[in-house]
Amino acid sequence: MPDVYPADLLAEIRDLKRRVEQLEASRGSLTAASKGWLMSDMAIPSVSSGQIQIGCNGGDFYVKTSSTVKRIPGVAASVAAVSTTDAGSTYTTSVQTLINELKTKLNAFISNNKSAGQMQGP
């Protein structure tokens, strides 16, 4: 039976170990993002069923599936609180109450989104 191993097996192992270490050092980390990720703006491609594409388009981050595109705005919208004044006799009391309730809920929505970093504004 022929000898299929090199004459100096330990030298071969040392050489392979050195080459692996060089490759690991040259590629850097694949998962650390201590400096963030640089993504080029690109057109959103078509995606086959069962796959997703993650990228940046028009300054927005997106996730594309075969049927949908979900965008996350790169810059939060700037929104100010909603204010109303007493409409006096223009509206009935029930309509004025409804407008004030809507204003309260809308301002809570705006405030919550600002707190979550989804909106900016005064």
Q: How would residue 100 be classed by pLDDT, with cut points 50, 70 and 90? A: confident
Calculate the alpha carbon distances from 28 to 19, 23, 31, 32 in Å: 15, 9, 9, 9
* CA–CA dist 62, 22 (Å, integer): 35
By mean pLDDT, which of 8-12, 55-59, 74-78, 99-103 is the weakest?
74-78
Average pLDDT over residues 8-16: 88
Q: What percent of the chain has pLDDT over 70?
A: 75
**SS3 category, 77:** strand
When the pLDDT of each residue in the chain is averaged and rounded to a whole number, the result is 79
